[in-house]
Amino acid sequence: MFNSTVLEVAVGLVFTFLAVSLATGAIVEALASLIDLRANTLLSGVKQLVNDPNFAGLAKTLYEHALINPRGPGAGAPLQHKPAYIAPAQFANAMMDASGLSKAISQAVATVPGKALATELQTAISAALPPERNPQLNAMLQGIIQRAAGEPAKIHKELADWFDNAMDRVSGTYKRYTQLIGCIIALLLCIACNIDALHIARTVYAHPFPDQLAEYSQQPDATLAMNILENNFPVGWPDGQVFHKIGAKGTPVDFEPADYTQAVAGWLITTLATLFGAPFWFDLLQSFVRLKGSGPSPAEKTSGQAAAG
């Protein structure tokens, strides 16, 4: 197709990795939704963030808040309909409510001037979250109030930024979980469907189809065509027989010891390739052949003209 064997092998492998990555991604997303992985990871992150691993204090209060869990029933069952995402601004509002800052601000802002307001808010924090019970969180909130000089807008922004920064780490944890699950699923797919990168590369490089199809064209036969396709298609097990290969007589034969080693290596290569993700392989495939039926987009034309200039 490309008048280059090496290029055809590269395209074949990239297309294979793209297909496996898409299938793996879809299965991982379905499984993550089924077990509420994103919501559970977020819950774990919030419990760690506010030092409430047993979900008996501030974390529970936050999850009872309608800003954090709008679909939940509140105090009755805070973990019902757990959110998968929390907006930083909404978390900051809920945190100010749960820590008593909102109430203290509403009571003091009209009567307490300037620096005295910060002192009043610090007193409210120590009452709601005593330093002996949660010293780290108390010190953090006291520092925020001092830096903001008691200004509610600045306190809200710092709380939102604090949560946003913490969620970056939670996102990293979620990504590691999904990558591990994705690797396991990709490996199972590779074994179940015999998606061996080394075997695919050897098959595409050998060009088994042209000569046999040329011979077939002289005597058209649907059964013969299917046999040619099945015996030379580089993906799948012959006649559905796992750990078999096509022998010299064109019939399935048992794997030999060396075949297991090569197959495992090929499966692992395909599995590890899925870690790059489907977008990576799609972009790489577009480097070889344009998949879009239309011409280049205006942005592509502009960038191309700029490069030419």
Read off the pLDDT of residues 44-71 as tens digits, 9 standing for 90 and up.
999 999 999 999 999 999 999 999 998 8
How many CB atoms lie under 10 A from the CB of residue 200? 23
pTM for the model? 0.77
Q: Within 132-196, where are the H helices?
A: 135-148, 152-193
Q: What is the tens place of the pLDDT at every residue in 101-147?
A: 888 888 776 666 555 788 888 888 888 888 888 899 999 999 999 88
Strands (E), the chain: 244-246, 252-254
**Across the chain, what does the average pLDDT equal?**
84
Q: How crowded is the C-beta side of 227, counted as CA atoms within 13 Å?
A: 11
Joined tokens for residue 288 = 């070889």
Beta bridge mates, 245: 253
Kindly state the DSSP code that residue 291 receives in the 8-state scheme: -
Q: Say if residues 181 and 174 touch (Cβ distance below 8 Å).
A: no
Beta bridge mates, 254: 244
Cα(128)–Cα(200) distance, integer angstroms: 64
- How far does Cα 216 stand from its chain's mean position? 46
Burial class (CB in 10 A: 0-12, 13-18, 19+), 78: buried
Cα(302)–Cα(304) distance, integer angstroms: 5
Q: What is the tens place of the pLDDT at every residue in 224-234?
A: 656 666 666 78
The full set of domain ranges for the chain reads: 8-25+179-290
Joined tokens for residue 174 = 């979620």
Task: Please list, residue by residue across 236-272, b when 16 or more beta carbons sit within 10 angstroms of its beta carbon and e when fewer do.
Answer: eebeeeeebbeeeeeebeeeeeebeeebeebbbbbbe
Joined tokens for residue 57 = 């204090």
